[in-house]
Amino acid sequence: MKTLTPLQLALTMCCCRLFTLLSEVRLGDSPALFMVSLAALGAVEAVLLIPCIGLIKKTGKAPLEFLYEKNTVAAQAVTVVFMGFFLWDCFLTSGGLAYYLDRFFSTDISRIAALFCAVAVAGYISSLSSSSVGKCAALAFGAFVIFMLLLGVNTVADADIMGLHLAAEHPKESFAYNISSQLSQSRELVLFVFLLSDLKQGHRRSAALYIIIALCMAQGCICLAATALGDLASATDTPLYYLSCLSSSGIAERFDAGFMAVWTALGVLRLGIIIHCISRCVKRVFAPFSNSLAAKLLPFLPAVLSVPILYTRRWKMFVLFAQPPYIIVSIVGVVPLVLLAVSKRRREVED
Amino acid sequence: MKIERFTLALFLFIAGSFVLLFSSSRLHGADIRQRLLCHAMGIDVENGEYHITAQIFKPSQPGSDTPVDITQTNVEVLDGRGGTIAQAIADCEQQRGKKLFLGHLKLICLGREVDLSKPRELFDFCLGDKTVCLGTDICFGEKKAEELLQTHLTTEMISTENYIDLIDYNAKTSRCARCRLIDLLGEEDGKFTALIPVLEVQSKGSDVKEPVMCAERTAVVQNGKIARVLDAQKDGAVFLLLSNSDSAVLQAQTSGVPMAVRIEKSGLKRSMTTEEGKPCFDCRLTVVIDTLGENGGAAAAQIGKRIEESLKMAFEKSYGGDRAEDIFGLEKLLRFDMPREYLNNKGDVQGYLSKVKAKIKVICMVK
């Protein structure tokens, strides 16, 4: 059912992106170079989405919908690829949520219990309609913006523009590495392509809004962290968390509680959307068994698989930076490009 | 539909039960009565081991209605020793059987013998403990940090607030520098210059009820050790170039009459360039004075010239030797303005900065 608006879809994807940014980001030697890399990444993402948007404009259908009309077997295969990617993303997001909750905050809740609570709430979010999720995302995004504005106001006195320097030892290599690592973390691009089928119209506008808003938010956060924290921003992989610890005002001495609230909301929302997408993939691939208990529990399997790894405290082995972005490029760019080429050829043949 | 709703309700009930069971803080939590709220910590080094002095909040209750008596100091002091700071903290905790809570830590005072060449290692206990605020002030004691923390003041609700207010005010009025935990944590091991205020206790006679604190000296830390100490009376102009300062009080003489003039910092522009292959520091400081009478212009010119000479002298003293004492933060300015030059000389920035030439211009205007 097509119930999402372009802005809601864009904000939903921004929330997913911002969760990753708040969790862990490595600025490298030069924060200013990292910001330039982010701008270049925005351009790369725009180029990657062109085939998908072009296909929708030409055929009026999202990639999977178009493929299901042409060839069911190929469509099932592509759906399985999407489902596999979402299961992997669910594993990383649910485990990351529990891991960073334990790492950031001296809480009395065990990692397993935190994971269970997050998955339970995400499971509920996944059962909501797309428009309800979109509205939740808009609220979470609004809370994030207010939180960052508060951080900005409280740390602007400590900000030093000299934190945004360009002194990188190997600028070209750093530039390429930043783009590659950030693209490998942009797993929400795959979610975006999958959820485009929920839009009635405005697909191009939604893509543009997502890229622009995510870019602006990320640049603002990195700029604030680098100017307020100075060299510590480059030395740590959680600069935004430390920024919230540093901020103080006349009312609150520190803002890490606010960070926790916003970060948890974004994380649970992201997990809920991933579980929702997995459920839809399961319904398509395993249509005869879609009402069985196994099919309903499959989206939660990755979270369960992360438990032993969290329990043995080996989560860091799965850290995201070393993953190459080829899979994302293939699913987001290559598959729609192939479908676009196929649709063009068919039109030529028919003509 | 009914079965789906029932399944969802059952699932939520089980989930809620687990939440209540496993997320209850009774399993892991620590009551606040089992915590020692530490406001200030002193770190000394004695006989190769660390000696920690912790000022703990202890409310003095005059009666049942008032939980805290603000006329009292409301602190007590604990001390512990150990091979590392973490061990010394554990020693403090063992004395009371309670855990030290560092979430309210406002001041870390260092003794003169403390080695700051590896600040991230030294303050590892702060990074590991997620409750420590990165804006915690750092200062040196006159000799030992313990002497400072054994001094209790009653002006504010807790003693530490007095120290913080003193450092904050003196930093704003260009009498000392201000150093926070985050300023040291961002530095690379051993290769930095830091300005850390020195807090001193001055007792002024037996008829004075409470000791008087003073923060008019600032230690210049180079390669982990104190290289020299700046004095507010002689080197006050140096602090005008720091970001914390807003104003200063200087003495001028017009028509043979000495007068104290309050100056406010209006603008500061700094840049690094190269001239004839050597680095050049360009600084333009604008200050405003407020004087009565017709001699305001003369006073302004005199004060502007005096500040300029004072800055040039301080510059010569700090950057004139073989190794520069980077009290003006020129390394970061070099990295921002000329990243290529910075990277070319990254192995020996202090040696590179010792060749720097200064063009300092002070403009003093009357309000």
CATH number of the domain where residue B255 is located: 3.30.300.210
CB-based contact (8 Å) between B32 and chain A?
no
Q: Please compute the mean of the pLDDT values over residues A22-47 and round it to a whole number.
A: 93
Domain that holds residue B260: 246-367
Pair B229, B250 in one domain: no
- pLDDT band, very low/low/confident/very high, at A217 (cuts 50, 70, 90): very high
CB contact under 8 A, B15 and A120: yes
pLDDT given at position B71: 63
- On the question of pLDDT at A253 being above 90, the answer is no
B11 in any annotated domain: no
pLDDT > 70 in chain A, percent: 95
B13 in any annotated domain: no
Report chain A residues touching chain B, CB-CB < 8 A.
Answer: 30, 104-106, 108-110, 112-114, 116-117, 120, 123-124, 127, 158, 160-162, 164-169, 229-233, 235, 242, 245-246, 248, 253-254, 256, 296
Top-confidence residue, B6 or A217 = A217
Chain B contact set for A169 (CB, 8 A)? 343
pLDDT given at position A2: 57
pLDDT given at position B1: 59
Distance from CA of A231 to the nearest CA of B (A): 5
Protein fold of A6-350: Sodium/glucose cotransporter (1.20.1730)
CB contact under 8 A, B28 and A120: no
Chain A contact set for B125 (CB, 8 A)? none
The verdict on ipTM greater than 0.90 is no
- On the question of pLDDT at A229 being above 60, the answer is yes
pLDDT given at position B316: 87
Q: In chain A, how many H helices and how many E strands?
A: 16, 0
Phi, psi of A319 (to 5 degrees): -65, 145
B281 in any annotated domain: yes
pLDDT by position in tens, chain B (length 367): 566 777 877 877 777 777 666 655 555 556 777 888 899 999 999 888 999 999 988 776 555 555 566 666 677 888 899 999 989 999 999 988 888 888 889 999 999 999 998 888 888 888 777 788 888 999 999 888 988 888 776 666 667 888 898 999 999 999 999 999 988 887 777 778 899 999 988 765 555 566 778 888 999 998 888 988 998 888 878 888 887 888 888 776 666 667 777 888 888 999 999 888 888 999 999 988 876 566 667 778 888 888 888 888 888 888 887 777 888 889 999 999 999 999 998 888 888 888 889 899 998 888 7
Residue B100, token pair as written in the block: 């030290």
Pair B310, B346 in one domain: yes
pLDDT given at position B204: 54
The total of structural domains in chain B comes to 2
pLDDT > 90 in chain A, percent: 52
Top-confidence residue, A157 or A10 = A10
- Kindly list the distances between the CA atom of residue A277 and the CA atoms of A83, A209, A251, in Å, as whole numbers in the listed order: 8, 21, 41
Pair B316, B356 in one domain: yes
3-state SS string for B240-273:
CCCCCCCEEEEEEEECCEEEEEEEEEEEEEEEEE
Q: What is the pLDDT of residues A261-307, one digit of tens each?
A: 999 999 999 999 999 999 999 988 888 877 777 777 888 888 888 88
CB contact under 8 A, B18 and A127: no
pLDDT given at position A204: 92
Block residue for tokens 């879809």: A9
CA–CA gap between residue A95 and residue A308 (Å, rounded): 10
CA–CA gap between residue A330 and residue B22 (Å, rounded): 42
Three-point CA angle B207, B208, B209, nearest 5°: 110
CB contact under 8 A, A120 and B25: no
Residue among B7, B23, B339 minimizing CB distance to A166: B339
- pLDDT band, very low/low/confident/very high, at A51 (cuts 50, 70, 90): very high
Nearest CA in chain B to A226: B186
Block residue for tokens 């000389």: B345
B15 in any annotated domain: no
**Helix (H) / strand (E) containing A262:** helix A256-285
Question: How many A/B residue pairs have CB atoms within 8 Å?
Answer: 88
Chain B contact set for A109 (CB, 8 A)? 22-23, 28
B118 in any annotated domain: yes
- On the question of pLDDT at A140 being above 60, the answer is yes
Pair B138, B272 in one domain: no
Chain A contact set for B25 (CB, 8 A)? 108
Lowest mean pLDDT of A134-143, A216-225, A284-293, name the range: A284-293
- Predicted TM-score (pTM) of this structure: 0.88
**Helix (H) / strand (E) containing A70:** helix A63-70
CB contact under 8 A, A113 and B18: yes
pLDDT given at position B155: 62
Pair B179, B280 in one domain: no
Residue among A117, A235, A245 minimizing CB distance to B134: A245
CB contact under 8 A, A165 and B335: yes
pLDDT given at position A49: 95
Distance from CA of A336 to the nearest CA of B (A): 36
CB-based contact (8 Å) between B12 and chain A?
yes
pLDDT given at position B333: 93
Lowest mean pLDDT of A147-161, A331-345, B19-33, B192-206, name the range: B19-33
- pLDDT band, very low/low/confident/very high, at A315 (cuts 50, 70, 90): confident
- On the question of pLDDT at A48 being above 70, the answer is yes
- Kindly list the distances between the CA atom of residue B108 and the CA atoms of A95, A229, A329, B160, B169, in Å, as whole numbers in the listed order: 36, 19, 50, 10, 18
Cβ neighbours for B227, distance < 8 A, ≥ 6 positions apart: B220, B221, B325
pLDDT given at position B337: 94
Pair B205, B311 in one domain: no
- pLDDT band, very low/low/confident/very high, at A344 (cuts 50, 70, 90): confident
Check if the beta carbon of residue A66 is closer than 8 Å to that of residue A59.
yes
Pair B256, B325 in one domain: yes
Pair B308, B189 in one domain: no
CB contact under 8 A, A117 and B343: no
Residue among A106, A232, A248 minimizing CB distance to B185: A232
Domain boundary among B181, B205, B234: B234
